[in-house]
Copies of this chain bind each other. A is one copy, B any other.
Amino acid sequence: MNHLPPTRRGEARERLLELAEEAVLAKGFAATSIDELVAAAGITKSGFFYHFRDKNTLAKAMLLRYLERDKALLDDLFSRADELNEDPLHGFLVGLKMFAELLADLPDNYPGCLAASFCYQDQLFDAEIRALNAEGMLDWRRRFRSRFEAIATRYPPWEPVDLDALADMATALVEGGLILGRALNDSRILPGQVLLYRDFVRLLFQTV
């Protein structure tokens, strides 16, 4: 009794990951059942265990996919901003503006960060997944920090500032803005926080 597959073969794994991400951001990892995922993906439980050894393997694949997508999206955005402007400060400010616009134009299904979700459920996962998550955050710190180093040599800040903390502030504001946006059901909060961060960077480094 084998019916025709609803879509071409081999894409069930990707469908599972997409469905899992949505469900985990809405309910958390433990509350997301394998049965629910396979039903929505149109496959059977055996199909799930063909692609993923267990639920932990699914979690790792979800996180890797999320981190890669995120990195690609923002790399693309900031490299486009750099092309528009040679000055490191103005290029970064343009990038932040573009980022805020991108966030403001997101569809209304409430966005969330899988890394944040995992971090509030980290005892469910093994050390490898926690390390991947930490590495993702450190990656953002390094990327932003190297920009600030270039900016600070040309525009000395008004007052001494910890460039690591300033880089972390971007990540923190995005994570916090997502939480506020979800809790208050207001999609304007996240882009607003990014623009405030932009104001802070401008104030810190701007020449008088």
Q: Looking at the assembled complex, report how far the CB atom of A33 sits from the nearest CB atom of chain B, in whole angstroms.
A: 10
- Determine if A106 is an interface residue (Cβ-Cβ < 8 Å): no
Give the interface residue-count category, chain A.
35 or more
Question: Using an 8 Å CB-CB cutoff, how does the interface string of A111-153 with B read, 1 for contact, 0 for none?
Answer: 0100111011111100000100110011000000000000000
- Determine if A57 is an interface residue (Cβ-Cβ < 8 Å): no
Report how many copies the assembly holds.
2
Q: Which residues of B contact A121 (CB under 8 A)?
A: 26-28, 31
- Determine if A200 is an interface residue (Cβ-Cβ < 8 Å): yes
Q: Which residues of B contact A122 (CB under 8 A)?
A: 26, 182
Contacts A162-B192, A165-B193 known; A182 to B119 CB distance under 8 Å?
Answer: yes
